[in-house]
Amino acid sequence: MPADANKAAAGDIGRLLRPRSIAIVGASEKPGALGNSVLLNLERLGFDGELHLVNPKREEIAGRRCVKSVEDLPLGIDAAVLAIPRAFVLDAIRGLAERGCGSVVIFSAGFAEAGDAGLEEQRQIGEIALKAGMIVEGPNCLGCVNFIDQIALTFVEAPTPKLGARRKGIAIVSQSGAMAAVLGSNLTDRDIGLSYSVSTGNEAASGVEDFVEYMIADKNTSVIAMIVEQFRNPARFLELAAKARRAKKPIVLLHPGKSTAAAESAATHTGAMAGDYSVMRTKVERAGVIVADTLEELGDIAEIAARCRQLPSGGCVVLTESGAFKALTLDLAEEIGLDLPKLTDANAPELRAAMPEFVAVSNPVDMTAQALVDPDMYRRVLSAAVGDKRFGSVVLAIIQTDHSTTDKKFPPIIDALGELKSSKPIIVTGIDEGGVVRKAYVKGVRRKGSAYFPTSDRAMRAIAKLSAYSGQDFSESRRKPLKARKALVAGVVPEFRAKEILGPLGVPFPKSKLARSKHEAIEAAKALGYPVVLKAQSAELSHKSDAGGVMVGLQSADEIASAWDKMQSSVTSYKPGLELDGILVESMGDRGVELIIGAKSEPGWGPVILAGFGGVQAELYQDVCLLSPDLTEAAIIGQLRQLKGARLLTGFRGSAPVDLEAVAEIISTIGRLMIGEPDIREIDLNPVVAYPKGKGAVALDALMLIARE
């Protein structure tokens, strides 16, 4: 880990990515040696700055003079590449720091990932770098490539196409060197311009956040594609992501770890359901990051964002040549949340005029095979689609089959793209991935500012992600954070105390009283009015039902007395020696739709709010969503409407719609409290019963977890 994860790198990353002087420590003439591969890369790409070689056993290599050690290097070299075994790295770092070296690339592995000794050496590297103001890439990295100036500080001999004048490209920032190389190859093969590729490895001193900050300011970078397994400074990354969004530089992220079991929590349902990955994803998407689910999708999203003149937004229209394919497209669009506005002959006159008379207008649009005999139809239909304000993107999905077919289709399509010069993204795709398409046609599509995909499935998934990003409301609630009115004591906070904290802040609960004897329970029930509920109270009973600690529908003093004895016996059997704080006597509420509302604060990431369908089935079905705590109440309601069971909220089979405004008010209150009280780790309101519109919502149970000192 970095020496101080809360600080940015102390040095100038420009000295690493755009060096004018480079030292190769461990230079070699041996083919395949890391030091030899770096030297060959620099020579192959024509590096014209100062190049210094270090090898204690050689006077020269490939006609270039060698020095014996880093102590013999000139002062102030911009970048040094360490192509040496781990055992010699720490001394080399010390020597380079003393010589005022601006940056270091460490290929060697065997540091933090290899045990305590390696971890200690990595920690020392971080300390030296921080003190000297030196950028460190690695250890355990693949190096970096500058495609603008053609400088490759890596041992991988990969294609390094020059970005070219007045162009902007995709910057790759990846902790994995292998995945950075793979993504770079994939994008290069698609004729996508790259600005930089950086693999950060173990991040002893400089992390992905440092490089993202550089890319945001870099005039040659338009999109940042990231592969990250762990953010070491989440709060800083969220700030940078918001900055990138404001600068109109999309960040596309692939983050492995979705399938990892969520960290267990002894306290709340919320903690069990809001795992590390889901918290990360909620926070970064709220900051404006587009999260890809696969390596292929990462490249697809980045390509469209980089190649097209503007990002997809709003609705999409799909133009195809198969009636059967329409149904498949509609299924996929519903699955991925891609909006396909409905089209008819009446509401789309331009498309009606462009289409064969025997085909009804719809979305997807079935152009049939008519374009084979009327190739101008591509231009007419594309023109009508682009001119329709309902669409922020167009997919032209064609049947490719063989050379004879594509030779008829692609020339008029390319001509149409050139004539239209659309600022809206037009993505040309195949339906049959195995169809034969000449490379010249693919290049022709791309040169007109459009993208080509072998399948429409990939294109539509990428468009759905980009459209959601374009349509996201990043405005924040204007309501102020809340502070608790009672002291927060570390540990699990049982229900009765949680209600004492949350009730005065506006969270609605049923009327209740804590009883410490059977007599007090009976008197409390009389005061509250029957029927009532009894609930055992202890910080050691996070889930009371498991211990027989909840009894409902009690109608008389005799029933309360019997329930009291039975509950005491059940709890003692469940956890011998447990002493209850008391038993909460609470008014029975009316039936309604049961929800769960909770919150979790993840170290580094901060709080998220969980909301969805609750009760005892909360963890079983997990029909929940995670929300940022700063959302407006309108945005909260919008998210609730996306739940799988949302029809239960809006009126199902004649039932009345529930009071979503009241539910959103509770969620907003919890969010404001989590922002105002960072010591709160978890809150769990389960169930929250939502009543018909205008009648509010009530939290029946509450539990909290406060950070331990």
Contact 85, 98 (CB under 8 A): no
Residue 11 has pLDDT above 80, yes or no: no
Q: What is the pLDDT of residues 581-629, one digit of tens each?
A: 999 999 998 899 999 999 999 888 999 999 999 866 666 677 899 999 9
Quick check: helix, strand or coil at residue 144?
strand
Q: What is the pLDDT of residues 81-98, one digit of tens each?
A: 999 999 999 999 999 999
Contact 612, 639 (CB under 8 A): no
d(CA 469, CA 665): 26
Percent of the chain topping pLDDT 90: 83
- Amino acid, single-letter form, for residue 177: G
Token output for 529: 């009015």
Residue 264 has pLDDT above 50, yes or no: no
Half-sphere exposure of 8 (CA within 13 A, CB side): 13
Q: What is the pLDDT of residues 496-510, one digit of tens each?
A: 999 999 999 999 999
Supply the DSSP string of 90-135, one letter for each residue: HHHHHHHHHTT--EEEE----SGGG-HHHHHHHHHHHHHHHHHT-E
d(CA 675, CA 108): 42
Q: What is the pLDDT of residues 466-515, one digit of tens each?
A: 999 999 999 999 999 999 998 899 999 999 999 999 999 999 999 999 99
How would you class 631 by CB atoms within 10 Å of its CB: exposed for 0-12, middle for 13-18, buried for 19 or more? Answer: buried
Q: Label the pairing between strands 532-537 and 512-515.
A: unpaired
Q: What is the pLDDT of residues 330-381, one digit of tens each?
A: 999 999 999 999 999 999 999 999 998 888 999 999 998 888 899 999 999 9
Token output for 239: 């700030």
d(CA 317, CA 118): 55
Please tell me the predicted confidence (pLDDT) of residue 6.
42
Strand partners, 613: 595
Mean of pLDDT over the chain: 92
Please tell me the predicted confidence (pLDDT) of residue 1.
44
Residue 269 has pLDDT above 90, yes or no: no
**Residue 476 — φ and ψ, nearest 5°?**
-110, 155
Contact 426, 386 (CB under 8 A): yes
d(CA 637, CA 410): 46
Q: Label the pairing between strands 703-706 and 491-493.
A: antiparallel
Look at residues 256, 267, 347, 268 and name the one whose alpha carbon lies nearest to residue 298: 256
First-to-last alpha carbon distance for the chain, in angstroms, is 24
Residue 270 has pLDDT above 80, yes or no: no
Please tell me the predicted confidence (pLDDT) of residue 616.
61
| Cα angle, residue 19 at apex, residues 14 and 25 outer, rounded to 5° | 120
Over residues 556-569, mean pLDDT:
96
Contact 672, 630 (CB under 8 A): no
Contact 282, 609 (CB under 8 A): no
Please tell me the predicted confidence (pLDDT) of residue 520.
97
d(CA 85, CA 287): 40
Residue 434 has pLDDT above 60, yes or no: yes
Q: How far is CA 368 from the centre of its chain?
A: 39
Please tell me the predicted confidence (pLDDT) of residue 160.
85
Q: What is the pLDDT of residues 48-59, one digit of tens each?
A: 999 999 999 999
Q: What is the pLDDT of residues 438-473, one digit of tens each?
A: 999 999 999 999 999 999 999 999 999 999 999 999
Please tell me the predicted confidence (pLDDT) of residue 267.
41
Please tell me the predicted confidence (pLDDT) of residue 276.
83
Which of 74-83, 193-202, 489-498, 537-546 shows the lowest per-residue confidence on average (mean pLDDT)? 537-546
d(CA 170, CA 193): 6
Contact 105, 22 (CB under 8 A): no
Over residues 49-74, mean pLDDT:
95
Token output for 579: 């002493």
Please tell me the predicted confidence (pLDDT) of residue 615.
67
